[in-house]
Amino acid sequence: MEVIEVVGGAAVRATNILTPPAEQRICTEAATLLPVGTGDRMGMATAGNEPLEIALNPMPGRHLHDHLRALRDEHGPIAPVHFYGMPSYVILDYDELRAFFTAQEEFPGGEVYKHQLESTIGPTFISMDGSEHDVYRQLVTPAFRSRATTRFVDSQLTPLAHQMLDGIVSAGEGDLVTGFADRLPFWAISRKLGLPDGYEDRQRGWAHALLSELSDPEGAKVASAELTELIAPVIADRRSNPGDDVISQLVANDYNGRRLTDAEVLSHVRLLFAVGATTTSDALSNLLWTLLNRPELLRRLREEPDSRPSAVRELLRWEPPVPLLPRMALNGGVIAGVEVPPMSIVLGGIASANRDPGRFADPDTFDIDRPDTDVLTFGFGSKFCPGSHLAKLQLLAALEVVLDRLPELQLLDDEPVPEPSGCNLRSVSSLRCKWTAS
């Protein structure tokens, strides 16, 4: 279902930047209804003379990248598109996008999240800007610093990944998305936050529902209430019995004499749970898809463990799970010489910037040996993703465990393999594989 929000007098078909599964299904159907100029089902730079609707189009595999390249060829660093029916813009070049992410005063990042997340998740630093954002970010993010994150991955995440594969390894075949990539990051963030075990089957549904406030407000409300029931007693407990988890740190952290209230801890736990797990799960599905479609590279990664971190880095450049990140240009402004009117949606074309030929040589090739790995997958500037270290370590740990536990891993020959798809969150829905059973 599509929801129309009225923001500052302008009718905006507001939406999730992180598309929930139900909406992705609608996307798939909508793709067949979109006007196309070329006969290609996914369309190219323009559909006739109309800018192409970008949000409702899943653009699987190379379609998204071809489309963004064609837009750049036709329009330069910024191009007109439609985003949920709204005339919008997409920034396509690396330098322009980096400058846009840095221009927080002119194009504040919090606005879109206010409409997208706040009534379910509550006020959190993702929907704040300026000094308020900075104070709350200082209160929340120390829990994701590098040493604690490495300790967590070694002591908890890797054993969890083994435990998850224990359940499927003897079968000799299975679905590595539904059986692994769609599960591990949800377990992991729950453990990292300090939530109790026993809710593994519901975690993914809760996280996606929390991000679906605009398309399914009722579902979001239910998920939020169920999760709150789980979190509230943990907050109370950690105030007197601190542990080595994020909730303990959130209740104890002090920044210039400022501490989080219980309500603020609660909303930030909801936020971290939802945005941390969905993105990482999608990246993991894209990573496994990419490697399984390159058996020689998979073999190299088995033989050269030192090259595995480069494979993770290259995946994050080549097929980022958040390919287009919406911002609202509240007061308008000039981007790459183009006058953008007030209240416009401007999409940060992360997938396009990461393949900007002015920045990356031979950008469409998946090359784990490329020297420049400075990508925009996690944003840039004051809103740079605080979970990037956890995400990268998690992807690497998951890859290590897959290579370790599943010898002779390959795609099942008789199954058509779905490609990464989606323009808001991009992922693979299923990956049926076989391996040597042990």
Closer to ligand HEM by Cβ: residue 60 or 326: 326
Asked if 385 touches ligand HEM (CB under 6 A), the answer is: yes
Asked if 219 touches ligand HEM (CB under 6 A), the answer is: no
User: Per CB under 6 A, which region of 66-74, 80-88, 303-311, 384-392 contacts ligand HEM?
Assistant: 384-392
Distances in whole angstroms, Cα of residue 168 to Cα of each of 161, 163, 178, 425, 438 = 12, 10, 11, 27, 10
Which of 420, 293, 300, 416 is closest to 351 using CA atoms?
420
Going by the DSSP 8-state scheme, the letter that residue 427 receives in this structure is: B
Which of 93, 84, 88 is closest to 57 using CA atoms?
84
CB of 278 vs ligand HEM, minimal distance in Å: 9
| Residue among 18, 78, 283, 328 that touches ligand HEM (CB under 6 A) | 283
CB of 394 vs ligand HEM, minimal distance in Å: 7
Pair 164, 183: CB distance under 8 Å = yes
Asked if 207 touches ligand HEM (CB under 6 A), the answer is: no
User: Per CB under 6 A, which region of 76-84, 258-266, 362-370, 382-390 contacts ligand HEM?
Assistant: 382-390
Residues with Cβ within 8 Å of residue 97, at least 6 apart in sequence: 91, 348, 349, 350, 353, 376, 380
Point out which residues pair with 88 in neighbouring strands.
81, 345
CB of 113 vs ligand HEM, minimal distance in Å: 7
Asked if 377 touches ligand HEM (CB under 6 A), the answer is: yes
Task: Considering only residues 83 through 112, tell me which ones interact with ligand HEM, judged by CB under 6 A.
Answer: 109
Pair 103, 382: CB distance under 8 Å = no
Residues with Cβ within 8 Å of residue 194, at least 6 apart in sequence: 234, 238, 243, 245, 246, 247, 248
User: Per CB under 6 A, which region of 2-10, 49-57, 92-100, 376-384 contacts ligand HEM?
Assistant: 376-384
Task: Considering only residues 242 through 271, tell me which ones interact with ligand HEM, judged by CB under 6 A.
Answer: 271
CA 269 to chain centre: 17
Asked if 125 touches ligand HEM (CB under 6 A), the answer is: yes
Which residues make up the interface to ligand HEM (CB under 6 A)?
109, 125-126, 137, 144, 271-272, 275-276, 279-280, 283, 320-322, 325, 377-379, 383, 385-387, 390-391
